[in-house]
Structure 1
Protein backbone atom coordinates (compact mmCIF):
# COMPACT_ATOMS: atom_id res chain seq x y z
CA UNK A 1 0.00 0.00 0.00
CA UNK A 2 1.46 3.36 -1.00
CA UNK A 3 -1.37 5.81 -0.29
CA UNK A 4 -1.97 7.92 2.75
CA UNK A 5 -4.59 6.50 5.11
CA UNK A 6 -7.32 9.03 5.83
CA UNK A 7 -8.18 7.24 9.08
CA UNK A 8 -4.60 7.22 10.36
CA UNK A 9 -4.16 10.90 9.48
CA UNK A 10 -7.28 11.89 11.43
CA UNK A 11 -6.78 9.52 14.37
CA UNK A 12 -5.14 10.21 17.70
CA UNK A 13 -2.06 8.03 18.17
CA UNK A 14 -0.39 6.91 21.39
CA UNK A 15 2.89 5.08 21.93
CA UNK A 16 2.71 3.10 25.16
CA UNK A 17 6.26 2.42 26.28
CA UNK A 18 9.38 4.59 26.16
CA UNK A 19 12.12 1.99 25.85
CA UNK A 20 14.17 1.42 22.74
CA UNK A 21 11.26 0.68 20.38
CA UNK A 22 8.96 3.34 21.83
CA UNK A 23 11.72 5.94 21.62
CA UNK A 24 12.53 4.92 18.05
CA UNK A 25 8.88 5.27 17.05
CA UNK A 26 8.63 8.68 18.71
CA UNK A 27 11.62 9.83 16.66
CA UNK A 28 10.08 8.60 13.43
CA UNK A 29 6.68 10.16 14.16
CA UNK A 30 8.40 13.47 14.89
CA UNK A 31 10.49 13.28 11.71
CA UNK A 32 7.36 12.57 9.65
CA UNK A 33 5.43 15.42 11.27
CA UNK A 34 2.78 13.09 12.66
CA UNK A 35 1.52 14.14 16.12
CA UNK A 36 1.51 11.45 18.80
CA UNK A 37 1.61 11.07 22.54
CA UNK A 38 3.90 8.78 24.50
CA UNK A 39 3.48 7.29 27.95
CA UNK A 40 5.20 4.86 30.29
CA UNK A 41 4.60 3.29 33.68
CA UNK A 42 6.62 5.97 35.49
CA UNK A 43 4.41 8.92 34.57
CA UNK A 44 4.54 11.86 32.18
CA UNK A 45 7.05 13.80 34.28
CA UNK A 46 9.67 11.11 33.67
CA UNK A 47 9.45 11.79 29.93
CA UNK A 48 9.80 15.58 30.03
CA UNK A 49 13.48 15.65 29.05
CA UNK A 50 12.89 13.08 26.30
CA UNK A 51 9.94 14.87 24.71
CA UNK A 52 11.58 18.30 24.93
CA UNK A 53 13.66 17.40 21.89
CA UNK A 54 10.50 17.01 19.81
CA UNK A 55 9.06 20.42 20.67
CA UNK A 56 5.25 20.04 20.45
CA UNK A 57 4.98 17.13 18.00
CA UNK A 58 5.37 14.35 20.56
CA UNK A 59 3.77 14.96 23.95
CA UNK A 60 4.16 13.02 27.18
CA UNK A 61 0.92 11.97 28.87
CA UNK A 62 -0.14 9.66 31.66
CA UNK A 63 -0.66 6.03 30.65
CA UNK A 64 -4.40 6.19 31.40
CA UNK A 65 -4.73 9.03 28.89
CA UNK A 66 -2.68 7.23 26.23
CA UNK A 67 -5.09 4.30 26.46
CA UNK A 68 -7.88 6.53 25.16
CA UNK A 69 -6.23 7.13 21.76
CA UNK A 70 -7.77 5.85 18.54
CA UNK A 71 -4.55 3.95 17.76
CA UNK A 72 -2.51 2.58 20.68
CA UNK A 73 0.92 1.14 19.90
CA UNK A 74 2.18 -1.32 22.53
CA UNK A 75 5.94 -0.73 22.52
CA UNK A 76 6.97 -2.47 25.72
CA UNK A 77 8.11 -5.80 27.11
CA UNK A 78 5.58 -8.53 26.39
CA UNK A 79 5.22 -9.28 30.11
CA UNK A 80 4.21 -5.67 30.80
CA UNK A 81 1.17 -5.74 28.53
CA UNK A 82 -1.42 -7.19 30.98
CA UNK A 83 -0.87 -4.43 33.54
CA UNK A 84 -0.51 -1.71 30.90
CA UNK A 85 -3.89 -2.40 29.26
CA UNK A 86 -5.73 -3.76 32.29
CA UNK A 87 -7.69 -0.58 32.90
CA UNK A 88 -9.67 -0.81 29.66
CA UNK A 89 -12.74 -3.00 29.64
CA UNK A 90 -13.88 -2.66 26.03
CA UNK A 91 -11.76 -1.14 23.28
CA UNK A 92 -14.86 -0.56 21.13
CA UNK A 93 -13.19 -1.12 17.76
CA UNK A 94 -10.14 1.03 18.39
CA UNK A 95 -6.84 -0.19 16.93
CA UNK A 96 -4.15 -1.76 19.10
CA UNK A 97 -0.79 -2.28 17.41
CA UNK A 98 1.23 -5.08 18.96
CA UNK A 99 4.90 -4.15 18.61
CA UNK A 100 6.02 -6.58 21.33
CA UNK A 101 8.12 -9.71 21.10
CA UNK A 102 7.62 -12.62 23.50
CA UNK A 103 11.18 -13.18 24.72
CA UNK A 104 12.77 -14.80 27.73
CA UNK A 105 15.28 -12.53 29.45
CA UNK A 106 18.22 -12.43 29.81
CA UNK A 107 18.92 -15.24 27.33
CA UNK A 108 16.79 -13.78 24.50
CA UNK A 109 15.03 -17.03 23.60
CA UNK A 110 11.44 -17.31 22.31
CA UNK A 111 8.79 -17.56 25.03
CA UNK A 112 6.80 -20.81 25.26
CA UNK A 113 3.14 -19.75 25.03
CA UNK A 114 1.61 -23.24 24.90
CA UNK A 115 1.14 -23.13 21.16
CA UNK A 116 -0.35 -19.64 21.02
CA UNK A 117 1.00 -16.76 18.99
CA UNK A 118 2.09 -13.83 21.13
CA UNK A 119 -0.36 -11.55 19.33
CA UNK A 120 -3.19 -13.95 20.11
CA UNK A 121 -2.32 -13.53 23.78
CA UNK A 122 -2.28 -9.75 23.38
CA UNK A 123 -5.63 -9.87 21.56
CA UNK A 124 -7.23 -11.64 24.52
CA UNK A 125 -6.05 -8.79 26.77
CA UNK A 126 -7.70 -6.06 24.65
CA UNK A 127 -11.32 -7.19 24.11
CA UNK A 128 -13.10 -5.34 21.34
CA UNK A 129 -9.89 -4.00 19.78
CA UNK A 130 -8.81 -4.39 16.19
CA UNK A 131 -5.31 -5.81 16.68
CA UNK A 132 -2.50 -5.39 14.17
CA UNK A 133 0.99 -6.84 14.52
CA UNK A 134 3.59 -4.30 13.35
CA UNK A 135 6.83 -2.44 14.20
CA UNK A 136 8.39 -5.51 15.84
CA UNK A 137 10.69 -6.91 13.16
CA UNK A 138 13.30 -4.13 12.95
CA UNK A 139 15.87 -3.58 15.67
CA UNK A 140 15.46 -0.25 17.43
CA UNK A 141 18.47 1.56 15.86
CA UNK A 142 17.27 0.57 12.40
CA UNK A 143 13.67 1.53 13.18
CA UNK A 144 14.85 4.93 14.44
CA UNK A 145 16.93 5.65 11.33
CA UNK A 146 15.63 7.44 8.25
CA UNK A 147 13.62 4.79 6.33
CA UNK A 148 14.42 6.45 3.02
CA UNK A 149 17.79 5.31 1.66
CA UNK A 150 19.58 5.63 -1.67
CA UNK A 151 18.61 2.01 -2.38
CA UNK A 152 14.93 2.40 -1.48
CA UNK A 153 12.53 2.56 1.44
CA UNK A 154 12.91 0.30 4.44
CA UNK A 155 10.19 -2.38 4.64
CA UNK A 156 7.86 -2.86 7.59
CA UNK A 157 5.57 -5.87 7.83
CA UNK A 158 2.12 -6.02 9.38
CA UNK A 159 -0.73 -8.46 9.80
CA UNK A 160 -4.14 -8.52 11.42
CA UNK A 161 -7.56 -10.10 11.17
CA UNK A 162 -9.43 -6.86 10.40
CA UNK A 163 -8.72 -5.62 6.87
CA UNK A 164 -9.80 -2.07 7.67
CA UNK A 165 -7.32 -1.89 10.56
CA UNK A 166 -4.58 -3.32 8.36
CA UNK A 167 -5.26 -0.62 5.77
CA UNK A 168 -5.09 2.08 8.43
CA UNK A 169 -1.75 0.86 9.79
CA UNK A 170 -0.40 0.33 6.28
CA UNK A 171 -1.21 3.95 5.59
CA UNK A 172 0.44 5.04 8.82
CA UNK A 173 3.58 3.05 8.03
CA UNK A 174 3.66 4.66 4.60
CA UNK A 175 3.21 8.12 6.13
CA UNK A 176 6.19 7.41 8.39
CA UNK A 177 8.29 6.83 5.28
CA UNK A 178 8.50 3.04 5.34
CA UNK A 179 7.21 0.61 2.71
CA UNK A 180 4.36 -1.44 4.24
CA UNK A 181 3.78 -5.09 3.35
CA UNK A 182 0.50 -6.55 4.60
CA UNK A 183 0.91 -10.27 5.30
CA UNK A 184 -2.82 -10.82 5.81
CA UNK A 185 -4.46 -12.36 8.89
CA UNK A 186 -2.62 -13.12 12.11
CA UNK A 187 -2.59 -16.84 11.38
CA UNK A 188 -0.51 -16.17 8.25
CA UNK A 189 1.60 -13.18 9.22
CA UNK A 190 2.27 -13.43 12.94
CA UNK A 191 4.31 -16.67 12.77
CA UNK A 192 6.62 -14.96 10.27
CA UNK A 193 6.90 -11.74 12.28
CA UNK A 194 7.37 -13.11 15.78
CA UNK A 195 10.78 -13.29 17.43
CA UNK A 196 11.76 -16.69 16.04
CA UNK A 197 10.06 -16.14 12.67
CA UNK A 198 11.80 -15.77 9.29
CA UNK A 199 11.13 -12.01 9.10
CA UNK A 200 12.51 -11.15 12.55
CA UNK A 201 15.31 -8.56 12.28
CA UNK A 202 14.92 -8.66 8.48
CA UNK A 203 16.08 -5.29 7.12
CA UNK A 204 14.73 -5.17 3.56
CA UNK A 205 14.53 -2.27 1.11
CA UNK A 206 11.94 -1.62 -1.60
CA UNK A 207 13.02 0.57 -4.51
Structure 2
Protein backbone atom coordinates (compact mmCIF):
# COMPACT_ATOMS: atom_id res chain seq x y z
CA UNK A 1 0.00 0.00 0.00
CA UNK A 2 1.33 3.43 -0.83
CA UNK A 3 1.92 5.91 1.94
CA UNK A 4 -0.35 8.84 2.71
CA UNK A 5 -0.62 11.19 -0.24
CA UNK A 6 0.86 14.58 0.54
CA UNK A 7 -1.15 17.55 -0.71
CA UNK A 8 0.88 20.25 0.99
CA UNK A 9 2.35 21.40 -2.31
CA UNK A 10 -0.95 21.42 -4.14
CA UNK A 11 -2.72 24.64 -4.93
CA UNK A 12 -6.17 24.45 -3.37
CA UNK A 13 -8.77 25.53 -5.92
CA UNK A 14 -11.78 26.40 -3.83
CA UNK A 15 -13.60 27.68 -6.90
CA UNK A 16 -13.86 24.18 -8.37
CA UNK A 17 -17.42 23.11 -9.11
CA UNK A 18 -18.65 19.80 -7.72
CA UNK A 19 -21.64 17.57 -8.36
CA UNK A 20 -22.88 14.39 -6.73
CA UNK A 21 -24.86 12.16 -9.06
CA UNK A 22 -27.07 9.90 -6.99
CA UNK A 23 -29.25 10.86 -4.04
CA UNK A 24 -29.48 7.52 -2.27
CA UNK A 25 -27.75 6.67 1.01
CA UNK A 26 -24.23 7.06 -0.39
CA UNK A 27 -25.04 10.25 -2.31
CA UNK A 28 -26.59 11.79 0.79
CA UNK A 29 -23.60 10.71 2.90
CA UNK A 30 -21.29 12.50 0.48
CA UNK A 31 -23.53 15.56 0.55
CA UNK A 32 -23.27 15.62 4.34
CA UNK A 33 -19.48 15.55 4.08
CA UNK A 34 -19.59 18.60 1.79
CA UNK A 35 -22.16 20.36 3.98
CA UNK A 36 -20.02 19.82 7.08
CA UNK A 37 -17.27 21.91 5.45
CA UNK A 38 -19.74 24.38 3.86
CA UNK A 39 -18.61 23.45 0.35
CA UNK A 40 -21.22 24.01 -2.35
CA UNK A 41 -22.08 20.91 -4.35
CA UNK A 42 -24.88 20.05 -6.77
CA UNK A 43 -27.03 17.03 -5.96
CA UNK A 44 -28.74 15.28 -8.86
CA UNK A 45 -30.36 12.04 -9.86
CA UNK A 46 -32.76 10.86 -12.53
CA UNK A 47 -35.46 12.61 -10.52
CA UNK A 48 -36.19 16.33 -11.15
CA UNK A 49 -34.52 18.94 -8.90
CA UNK A 50 -37.77 19.78 -7.13
CA UNK A 51 -38.04 16.17 -5.96
CA UNK A 52 -34.57 16.45 -4.40
CA UNK A 53 -35.17 19.85 -2.80
CA UNK A 54 -36.43 18.49 0.57
CA UNK A 55 -33.43 16.16 0.81
CA UNK A 56 -30.97 18.94 -0.03
CA UNK A 57 -32.62 21.36 2.41
CA UNK A 58 -32.43 18.82 5.22
CA UNK A 59 -28.69 18.36 4.68
CA UNK A 60 -27.64 21.99 4.43
CA UNK A 61 -27.71 25.26 2.47
CA UNK A 62 -24.63 24.42 0.37
CA UNK A 63 -26.37 21.41 -1.19
CA UNK A 64 -27.98 22.57 -4.43
CA UNK A 65 -30.52 20.32 -6.19
CA UNK A 66 -30.02 20.32 -9.95
CA UNK A 67 -31.09 18.39 -12.99
CA UNK A 68 -28.81 15.61 -14.15
CA UNK A 69 -28.01 17.54 -17.33
CA UNK A 70 -26.92 20.61 -15.35
CA UNK A 71 -25.04 18.69 -12.67
CA UNK A 72 -22.74 16.91 -15.12
CA UNK A 73 -21.42 20.31 -16.21
CA UNK A 74 -19.40 20.44 -12.97
CA UNK A 75 -15.63 20.11 -13.13
CA UNK A 76 -15.55 17.27 -10.60
CA UNK A 77 -18.41 14.75 -10.70
CA UNK A 78 -18.94 12.07 -8.06
CA UNK A 79 -20.83 9.01 -9.31
CA UNK A 80 -22.77 7.65 -6.33
CA UNK A 81 -25.05 5.49 -8.42
CA UNK A 82 -25.76 1.78 -8.97
CA UNK A 83 -22.99 0.50 -11.25
CA UNK A 84 -25.40 -0.70 -13.92
CA UNK A 85 -26.76 2.84 -14.46
CA UNK A 86 -23.44 4.45 -15.41
CA UNK A 87 -24.18 4.32 -19.13
CA UNK A 88 -27.36 6.33 -18.62
CA UNK A 89 -25.42 9.00 -16.74
CA UNK A 90 -22.75 8.99 -19.45
CA UNK A 91 -25.36 10.14 -21.98
CA UNK A 92 -26.30 13.18 -19.87
CA UNK A 93 -23.13 15.13 -20.72
CA UNK A 94 -22.33 16.52 -24.15
CA UNK A 95 -18.65 15.93 -23.39
CA UNK A 96 -16.65 14.42 -20.54
CA UNK A 97 -13.40 15.83 -21.87
CA UNK A 98 -11.15 17.13 -19.09
CA UNK A 99 -13.60 16.42 -16.26
CA UNK A 100 -12.55 14.55 -13.16
CA UNK A 101 -15.01 11.77 -12.40
CA UNK A 102 -14.89 10.09 -9.00
CA UNK A 103 -16.22 6.56 -9.23
CA UNK A 104 -18.05 5.79 -5.99
CA UNK A 105 -19.82 2.74 -7.41
CA UNK A 106 -19.45 -0.89 -6.35
CA UNK A 107 -20.01 -3.53 -9.03
CA UNK A 108 -20.84 -6.21 -6.48
CA UNK A 109 -22.78 -9.06 -8.07
CA UNK A 110 -21.71 -8.17 -11.61
CA UNK A 111 -19.96 -11.14 -13.20
CA UNK A 112 -16.36 -10.42 -14.23
CA UNK A 113 -17.21 -11.74 -17.71
CA UNK A 114 -19.77 -8.93 -18.11
CA UNK A 115 -16.94 -6.46 -17.52
CA UNK A 116 -14.60 -8.14 -19.98
CA UNK A 117 -12.56 -9.18 -16.91
CA UNK A 118 -11.58 -5.52 -16.45
CA UNK A 119 -11.76 -3.55 -13.20
CA UNK A 120 -15.20 -1.96 -12.95
CA UNK A 121 -13.67 1.52 -12.83
CA UNK A 122 -11.94 0.91 -16.15
CA UNK A 123 -15.30 -0.05 -17.65
CA UNK A 124 -16.84 3.19 -16.36
CA UNK A 125 -13.88 5.15 -17.67
CA UNK A 126 -14.42 3.69 -21.14
CA UNK A 127 -18.02 4.94 -21.04
CA UNK A 128 -16.85 8.50 -20.28
CA UNK A 129 -14.39 9.35 -23.07
CA UNK A 130 -12.02 12.14 -22.14
CA UNK A 131 -12.74 12.01 -18.41
CA UNK A 132 -10.03 11.54 -15.80
CA UNK A 133 -11.36 8.83 -13.53
CA UNK A 134 -10.50 8.34 -9.88
CA UNK A 135 -11.83 5.51 -7.72
CA UNK A 136 -12.63 6.83 -4.24
CA UNK A 137 -15.23 7.15 -1.46
CA UNK A 138 -16.64 3.69 -2.19
CA UNK A 139 -15.00 1.49 0.44
CA UNK A 140 -16.95 2.76 3.46
CA UNK A 141 -20.59 2.07 4.28
CA UNK A 142 -22.84 5.09 3.79
CA UNK A 143 -23.48 5.47 7.51
CA UNK A 144 -19.76 5.59 8.24
CA UNK A 145 -19.03 7.92 5.33
CA UNK A 146 -21.61 10.38 6.66
CA UNK A 147 -19.96 10.60 10.09
CA UNK A 148 -17.42 13.20 11.17
CA UNK A 149 -14.05 11.83 9.96
CA UNK A 150 -12.20 13.31 12.94
CA UNK A 151 -12.40 10.47 15.44
CA UNK A 152 -10.18 8.39 17.71
CA UNK A 153 -7.57 11.12 17.81
CA UNK A 154 -7.05 11.03 14.05
CA UNK A 155 -8.70 11.22 10.63
CA UNK A 156 -10.68 8.49 8.90
CA UNK A 157 -8.81 7.09 5.89
CA UNK A 158 -10.20 7.22 2.36
CA UNK A 159 -8.47 5.15 -0.30
CA UNK A 160 -8.16 6.33 -3.89
CA UNK A 161 -6.84 4.95 -7.15
CA UNK A 162 -6.37 6.38 -10.64
CA UNK A 163 -4.40 6.03 -13.84
CA UNK A 164 -4.04 9.83 -13.91
CA UNK A 165 -1.66 11.24 -11.28
CA UNK A 166 -2.86 14.83 -11.60
CA UNK A 167 -6.50 13.81 -11.13
CA UNK A 168 -5.55 11.65 -8.14
CA UNK A 169 -3.78 14.63 -6.58
CA UNK A 170 -6.82 16.86 -7.08
CA UNK A 171 -9.11 14.27 -5.50
CA UNK A 172 -6.66 13.75 -2.64
CA UNK A 173 -6.83 17.50 -1.99
CA UNK A 174 -10.64 17.33 -1.95
CA UNK A 175 -10.53 14.37 0.46
CA UNK A 176 -8.32 16.39 2.81
CA UNK A 177 -10.57 19.42 2.45
CA UNK A 178 -13.48 17.23 3.58
CA UNK A 179 -11.48 16.24 6.65
CA UNK A 180 -10.41 12.71 5.67
CA UNK A 181 -6.92 11.27 5.22
CA UNK A 182 -6.23 10.20 1.59
CA UNK A 183 -4.22 7.05 0.95
CA UNK A 184 -3.24 6.31 -2.64
CA UNK A 185 -3.26 2.77 -4.02
CA UNK A 186 -1.76 3.42 -7.44
CA UNK A 187 -3.32 2.51 -10.75
CA UNK A 188 -6.83 1.11 -11.20
CA UNK A 189 -5.68 -2.33 -12.39
CA UNK A 190 -3.06 -2.62 -9.65
CA UNK A 191 -3.62 -1.37 -6.09
CA UNK A 192 -7.01 -0.08 -7.15
CA UNK A 193 -8.29 -3.66 -7.22
CA UNK A 194 -8.17 -3.61 -3.42
CA UNK A 195 -11.24 -1.35 -3.41
CA UNK A 196 -13.17 -2.86 -6.31
CA UNK A 197 -15.71 -5.64 -5.86
CA UNK A 198 -15.35 -8.59 -8.22
CA UNK A 199 -18.37 -10.75 -8.87
CA UNK A 200 -19.76 -11.76 -5.49
CA UNK A 201 -16.52 -11.01 -3.68
CA UNK A 202 -15.73 -7.79 -1.83
CA UNK A 203 -12.18 -6.50 -2.25
CA UNK A 204 -9.81 -6.64 0.71
CA UNK A 205 -10.04 -2.97 1.72
CA UNK A 206 -13.78 -2.49 1.30
CA UNK A 207 -15.46 -1.78 4.66
CA UNK A 208 -12.05 -1.36 6.35
CA UNK A 209 -12.58 1.61 8.69
CA UNK A 210 -9.04 2.86 9.32
CA UNK A 211 -7.63 6.02 10.86
CA UNK A 212 -4.45 8.07 10.54
CA UNK A 213 -3.12 9.46 13.78
CA UNK A 214 -1.63 12.91 14.09
CA UNK A 215 -2.23 15.90 11.83
Q: Please give the TM-score of this superposition, normalised by the length of structure 1.
A: 0.92
Contact 2:21 2:77 in 1 (8 A): yes
CA apart distance, 1:188 = 1.7
Runs of 4+, deviation exceeding 4 Å: none
- Among candidates 19, 29, 33, match of residue 14 of structure 1: 19
Rounded to whole Å, the distance in 2 between the matches of 1:89 and 1:19 is 25
Contact 1:96 1:132 in 2 (8 A): yes
**Is the CA contact 1:96–1:129 (under 8 Å) kept in the aligned structure 2?**
yes
SS in 1 for 2:189: helix
Cα distance change, pair 6–137 in 1 and its aligned pair in 2 (3 A): same
Contact 2:19 2:77 in 1 (8 A): yes
Shift of 1:32: 1.2
- The offset of 1:189, in angstroms, is 2.6
Equivalences for residues 1-207 of structure 1 within 5 A:
1-3=6-8, 6=11, 8-104=13-109, 111-112=111-112, 113-195=115-197, 196-207=202-213
User: Where does structure 1 lack aligned partners over 5 or more consecutive residues?
Assistant: 105-109
Deviations 1:32-53 (A, max 9, x none): 1111010010111111111112
Is the 8 Å Cα contact of residues 42 and 63 (structure 2) preserved in structure 1? yes
Matched residues, number? 202
Question: 1:111/1:32 Cα in 2 relative to 1: closer, same or farther (>3 Å)?
Answer: farther
Query: CA offsets per residue over residues 159-197 of structure 1, 9 Å max, x none?
Result: 111111000000000000000011121122321111221
1:4–1:176 Cα change, 3 Å? farther
- The TM-score, its normalising length taken from structure 2, stands at 0.89
Provide the residue aligned with 1:107 in structure 2: none
Give the match's secondary structure for 2:190.
helix
User: Structure 1 residues 8 and 184, CA, compared in 2 at 3 Å: closer, same or farther?
Assistant: farther
Q: Distance in 1 between matches of 2:138 and 2:111?
A: 15
Distance 1:26 1:87 in 2: 21
Q: How far is the alpha carbon of 1:111 from its aligned partner?
A: 3.5
**Using a 3 Å threshold, how does the CA distance of structure 1 residues 162 and 202 change in structure 2: closer, same or farther?**
same
CA distance in 2, matches of 1:150, 1:191: 28
Provide the rounded CA distance (Å) in 2 between the counterparts of 1:8 and 1:97: 17
What's the Cα RMSD here?
A: 1.5
C-alpha distance in structure 2 between counterparts of 1:100 and 1:184, whole Å: 18
